[in-house]
Amino acid sequence: MLFNSYGFIFVFLPITFLGAFLLCKYTQQGAVLWLGIASLAFYAYWNPIFVALLLATIIFNYAVARKLSQLQGRPSSSSSKPLLVTAITLNLLLLGYFKYTNFFIGALADSIGATFQPFHILLPLGISFFTFTQIAFLVDVSRGFAHEHNFARYLLFVTFFPHLIAGPVLHHKQMMPQFSDSANFRFQADNVCVGLSIFVLGLAKKIFIADTFGEIANPIFDAGTATQSLQFFEAWVGALSYTLQLYFDFSAYSDMAIGLSMMFNIRLPLNFNSPFKATSVIDFWQRWHMSLTKYIGEYLYTPISLTLMRRGLGKPFLIDTIYTLVLPTLITFFIIGLWHGANYTFIMFGLLHGVYLIINHWWRLFKKKFAVAKSSSPINRVGSCALTYCCVVIALVFFRADTVSTATAICSAMAGLNGISLPATLEPLLTTLSLNVPSLGLSFNGVFASKLFTHAHWYIFLSLLVGHLIVWSLPNIHQLMYHYKVACEDLGARPAIKRPQPAGNLSWLVWRPNALWASVLGGLFFAAVLVMASNKPSSFLYYQF
């Protein structure tokens, strides 16, 4: 069931909302169970058979967690480590079967020159998210950091429908206290108003912006798959359009998830914090898919780094750096890439970001060692942001392409290796300037020589301009709702995310419960509903992960 569908907006959401708050009047436990069952129904909309799989993993991991809790404080002979390792292994084997069986067997077949017909394995939606959530819970239970003896609350923790399909990855410290707080099971009009407003803004962002850029980007990547020779401007338009599509699509889902959760008085973790305003790749990963970055850092990068660090002790600087920085980063981002999908393109995406981060860390070490003064000038910030953005765009070409060869072909075109086509009206001017046009790879067949786009040129360039202005000029949802606690970080569940107030000239955009905002959001919602009537709802890009 899609958030941007009639069935969700006009059937599922009202029934779930009314049922939860009617039950709250009589029993908090009943309301928790109702939300858990409703979340299972939400998941069942795609394929009911996978509800059994989801429930099986929940029951299994809940039982293991209870056993791990019982083993706390027992003698060392009753160590919980074998049980924990077994449980994590089984969770990962389940994830691996559904997500990576065809990929790894296919890779093995290719390496020995054999043919392989992929198995028909349907990937359960959100399996990465609910698997990672439960593994983290088991690890923290084994460490004595967590426990949960109420099955209904654990069920809701894993299945809570705003996050179930595309994240964020939840942590028990963020959510369990909220599910236990009786105040969160009383109707609060302010939260409903704020939550609905955020949901409508996310819905509009998905329908009017993200889907628009998808229409522009798709022909370029389809052409790349067909090995059609793209030229400079076409390749850049395709890459930039997909970058904006993914940005607004992920941002829209994150906003809608936060808004839906707020309606039920629950704050989800902030998962998206204007990542394209980042001035370094390190900064980017602190803003993009923040819950995944925190999860990977805590449960993967830190253990790997500590293990390898011991091997580097006493070694020369270069060897020590390889052990403490290069290997942990590349291993971690190889896994992050593979987490996103069973394809070499995702692995390349991860490794590219790993290399970016290594260079970024080395640059910081260089500046520190040679006392290079840190510049906070606007020119330096703009240049750092632009360089970071270009690196991200190149990596996202691999993220979107079907094959590595397609991504390489598009990147080659972006570098101008396939030539640059200009409007025919410029040919006399360049000839007059005595430029040797053929040697420069210039031709005059129009900006988009391959005629792949169905939209007018002015529409495409205007869309890209407006999209980038929104990204870099307007406040994000956390800033728009500056006066309200919309994410669990605001509740002190973990150190607060820096949330600057919009600049003075944009402070009038901060959301307030007044007639103007009500009129704007009402108009946006009405327009979105009309568009939904004429177009089939498109799924969110992160649903596939």
Is pLDDT of 462 > 90? yes
Q: What does the pLDDT read at residue 236?
A: 94
Range from 212-226, 461-475, 488-502 that averages highest in pLDDT:
461-475
Task: Read off the pLDDT of each residue in 442-453 and give the average, rounded to a whole number.
Answer: 80
Element (H, E) at 457: helix 457-473
Q: What does the pLDDT read at residue 65?
A: 93
Which pLDDT tens digit goes with each residue over 37-62?
A: 999 999 999 889 999 999 999 999 99
Which pLDDT tens digit goes with each residue over 133-169?
A: 999 999 999 888 888 889 999 999 999 999 988 878 8
Asked if the peptide bond before residue 14 counts as cis, ω within 30 degrees of 0, the response is no
Written as six digits, the tokens of 307 are 């293990």
Residues contacting 478, CB < 8 A, separation 6+: 270, 273, 486, 487, 497, 499
Alpha helices in 80-183 (DSSP H): 81-111, 127-142, 151-159, 161-164, 172-180
Q: What does the pLDDT read at residue 193?
A: 95
Asked if the peptide bond before residue 168 counts as cis, ω within 30 degrees of 0, the response is yes
Which pLDDT tens digit goes with each residue over 91-143?
A: 999 999 999 998 889 888 888 888 888 888 888 888 888 999 999 999 999 88
Q: What does the pLDDT read at residue 116?
A: 81
**Confidence grade of residue 226 (pLDDT, cut at 50, 70, 90):** low
Q: What does the pLDDT read at residue 437?
A: 58
Considering only residues 99 and 543, tell me which one the structure prediction assigns the higher pLDDT: 99
Q: What does the pLDDT read at residue 77?
A: 46
Residues 29 and 152 sit within 8 Å (Cβ to Cβ): yes
Active site amino acids: 340
**Confidence grade of residue 503 (pLDDT, cut at 50, 70, 90):** low
Written as six digits, the tokens of 323 are 């052990």
How does 97-114 read in b/e, with b if 16+ C-beta sit within 10 Å?
ebbbebbeebeeeeeeee
Is pLDDT of 319 > 90? no
Residues contacting 257, CB < 8 A, separation 6+: 162, 163, 166, 167, 168, 268, 271
Q: Among 231-235, 284-288, 493-497, 519-523, name the one with the lowest average pLDDT.
A: 493-497
Alpha helices in 297-415 (DSSP H): 302-312, 317-321, 327-340, 344-369, 378-400, 404-414
Is pLDDT of 298 > 50? yes
C-alpha 501/C-alpha 482 separation (Å) is: 7
For residue 229, the number of C-alpha atoms closer than 13 Å in the C-beta half-sphere is 7
Which pLDDT tens digit goes with each residue over 173-193?
A: 889 999 998 999 999 999 999
Q: What does the pLDDT read at residue 496?
A: 42
- Residue 511 gets the label, from left (phi > 0), alpha (psi -120 to 50) or beta, of beta
Which pLDDT tens digit goes with each residue over 258-292?
A: 999 999 999 999 899 999 999 999 999 999 999 98
C-alpha 106/C-alpha 103 separation (Å) is: 5
Considering only residues 203 and 318, tell me which one the structure prediction assigns the higher pLDDT: 203
Q: What is the mean pLDDT of the chain?
A: 87
Task: Read off the pLDDT of each residue in 520-536 and give the average, rounded to a whole number.
Answer: 90
Task: For the chain, give the percent of residues with pLDDT over 70.
Answer: 92
Is pLDDT of 387 > 90? yes
Is pLDDT of 362 > 80? yes
Is pLDDT of 228 > 80? no
Q: What does the pLDDT read at residue 16?
A: 96
Written as six digits, the tokens of 529 are 């509903």
